[in-house]
């Protein structure tokens, strides 16, 4: 008998028993926290799983199967040109427009393909941080000063954090570089433009399917035009995807045509994007699994990412909702930690207020663009400019669900260093910005 395992099992049994026994069901605060948890889980499932995460898994599958290891090593590998690697990684978010959870399958994929730790982490941070839609919204609603500071901070953070991670773990990176010296890149199966077309078509479908509505009252301009027509744009991109499936992936045209017909019929029967999107995903999985080996590997790889990431995300969303509440759209339900504790601690521009804003932002979950209205409310309640920037630089790129998944990919030590770097740098940036903001 392994006593360590038995004692660990007994510990968890006793812990869950005590939690159940002393559960404060009569407490109004506890009841509201439970309601916030369920509301956040439901909202996340409705708004992000189908339209955000599942497309991201398929994009990660493209990286894992269709983008050769040689290509990843060329641009992101341990021996890649550092200027090119960090330049590409630090601005990647401008085309992705993803949240801290949607970036995870993509990060996990390039990490497994041999990307250097520094460029991979720069990509992980910049993906959600430099989201061009969020930058524009920040500048329009919170002021051009915060918008500009967020752009500069996000790019600098991505490069500096990536370089520091590579430096701190240089021994492991040296071993990876030596191992990659012996890798002979296989010949590409298809021209780069074909793989790029397939990859970026999926990325653009992800971007436009999740294009956020502009602020209330705005019914003109480019942003509104794209939002009002986003499903027509997504439909056009789907035609390009169909072309890619037939001509590039060599899937029988009649299978693709039958899938398209099923999606069209589902949109007629059930108005709204969700059911047609589900049908499209199911059809894509079916025709790839019934195709040749490489196409089957694409869907299987996507499924492997989903199995690895989804349970951890679900656990993280539950914990974040219970502790910090559910804030989205017009819904505000408090968690077990009172909201006024947070807002009262981030006024002014002290070291503590910036550190607190960075730490809280790092653990909270912000869906794409939701950090802006949340900050608008906090600033209206007295939040300082410095802590606001600190939260903007730490919050969108990190969250408790995000950390759990990063831990499963990089391990405890690297995750702790990455999170610590983001919080420390966000705190310092907040202090600097808060000291000069009144003079801008």
pLDDT in tens, 147-177: 888 888 888 888 888 889 888 888 876 766 6
pLDDT at 196 over 60: yes
Asked if residue 40 is part of any domain, the answer here is yes
Is residue 240 scored above 90 in pLDDT? yes
Tell me whether residue 278 is in a domain.
Answer: no
Q: What is the pLDDT of residue 6?
A: 85
With respect to residue 336, please indicate whether it lies within any of the assigned structural domains.
yes
Q: Answer yes or no: is 310 within a domain.
A: yes
Say if CB 104 and CB 404 are below 8 A apart.
Answer: no
For 63-118, what is each residue's pLDDT tens digit? 777 766 556 556 666 666 677 777 777 766 655 556 666 677 777 777 776 677 78
Residue with the larger pLDDT of the pair 4 and 429:
429
Establish if 8 belongs to a structural domain.
Answer: no
Mean pLDDT of 426-431: 91
pLDDT above 90: percentage of residues in the chain: 12
Instruction: Answer whether residue 260 is part of any domain.
Output: no
Three-state SS letters, the chain: CCHHHHHHHHHHHHHHHHHHHCCCCCCHHHHHHHHHHHHHHHHHHHHHHHHHHHHHHHHHHHHHHCCCHHHHHHHHECCCCHHHHHHHHHCCHHHHCCCCCCHHHHHHHHHHCCECHHHHHHHHHHHHHCCHHHHHHHHHHHCHHHHHHHHHHHHHHHHHHHHHHHHHCHHHHHHHHHHHHCCCCCCCCCCHHHHHHHHHHHHHHHHHHCCCCCCCCCCCCHHHHHHHCHHHHHHHHHHHHHHHHHHHCCCCHHHHHHHHHHHHHHHHHCCCCHHHHHHHHHHHHHHHHCCCHHHHHHHHHHHHHHHHHHHHHHHHHHHHHHHHCEEECCEEECCCCCHHHHHHCCECCCHHHHHHHHHHHHHCCCCCCCHHHHHHHHHHCCECHHHHHHHHHHCCCCCHHHHHHHHHHHCHHHHHHHHHHHHHHHHHHHHHHHHHHHHC
> Whole domain around residue 354: which residue ranges?
30-180+188-250+292-439
Element (H, E) at 72: helix 69-76
29, 340 in Cβ contact below 8 A? no
Span 25-61, pLDDT tens digits: 888 888 888 888 888 888 878 877 788 778 878 887 8
Q: Provide the domain count of the chain.
A: 1
Confirm whether 284 is domain-assigned: no
Instruction: Tell me the pLDDT tens digit for each residue of 212-239.
Output: 777 666 677 777 888 888 888 988 999 9
> Is 285 contained in some domain?
no
């Amino acid at each position: 008998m392994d006593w360590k395992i038995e004692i660990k099992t007994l510990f968890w049994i006793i812990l869950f028993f005590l939690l159940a026994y002393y559960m404060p069901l009569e407490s109004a605060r506890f009841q509201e926290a439970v309601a916030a948890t369920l509301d956040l889980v439901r909202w996340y499932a409705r708004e992000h799983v189908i339209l955000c995460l599942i497309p991201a898994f398929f994009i990660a599958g493209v990286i894992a199967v269709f983008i050769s290891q040689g290509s990843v090593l060329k641009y992101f590998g341990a021996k890649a040109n550092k200027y090119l690697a960090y330049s590409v990684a630090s601005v990647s978010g401008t085309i992705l427009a993803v949240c801290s959870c949607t970036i995870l399958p993509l990060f996990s994929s390039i990490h497994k393909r041999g990307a250097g730790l520094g460029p991979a982490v720069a990509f992980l941070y910049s993906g959600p941080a430099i989201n061009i839609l969020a930058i524009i919204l920040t500048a329009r609603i919170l002021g051009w000063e915060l918008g500009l500071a967020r752009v500069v901070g996000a790019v600098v953070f991505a490069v500096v954090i990536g370089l520091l991670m590579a430096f701190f773990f240089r021994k492991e990176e040296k071993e990876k570089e030596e191992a990659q010296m012996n890798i002979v890149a296989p010949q590409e199966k298809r021209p780069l433009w074909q793989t790029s077309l397939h990859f970026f078509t999926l990325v653009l479908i992800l971007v436009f399917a999740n294009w956020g509505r502009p602020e209330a009252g705005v019914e003109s301009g480019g942003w509104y035009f794209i939002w009002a027509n986003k499903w027509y744009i997504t439909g056009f991109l789907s035609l390009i995807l169909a072309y890619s499936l037939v001509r590039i992936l060599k899937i029988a045209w009649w299978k693709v045509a039958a899938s398209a017909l099923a999606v069209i019929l589902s949109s007629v029967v059930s108005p709204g994007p969700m059911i047609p999107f589900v049908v499209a995903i199911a059809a894509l999985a079916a025709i790839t699994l019934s195709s040749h080996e490489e196409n089957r590997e694409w869907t299987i790889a996507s499924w492997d990412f989903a199995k690895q990431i989804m349970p951890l995300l679900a656990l993280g969303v539950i914990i974040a909702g219970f502790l910090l509440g559910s804030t989205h759209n017009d819904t505000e339900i408090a968690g077990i930690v009172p909201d006024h504790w947070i807002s009262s601690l981030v006024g002014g521009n002290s070291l503590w207020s910036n550190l607190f804003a960075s730490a809280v932002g790092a653990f909270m979950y912000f869906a794409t663009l939701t950090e802006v209205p949340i900050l608008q409310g906090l600033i209206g309640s007295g939040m300082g400019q410095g802590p606001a920037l600190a939260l903007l630089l730490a919050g969108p790129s990190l969250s408790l669900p995000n950390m759990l998944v990063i831990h499963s990919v990089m391990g405890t030590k690297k995750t702790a260093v990455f999170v610590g770097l983001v919080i420390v740098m966000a705190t310092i940036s907040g202090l600097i910005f808060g000291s000069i903001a009144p003079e801008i």
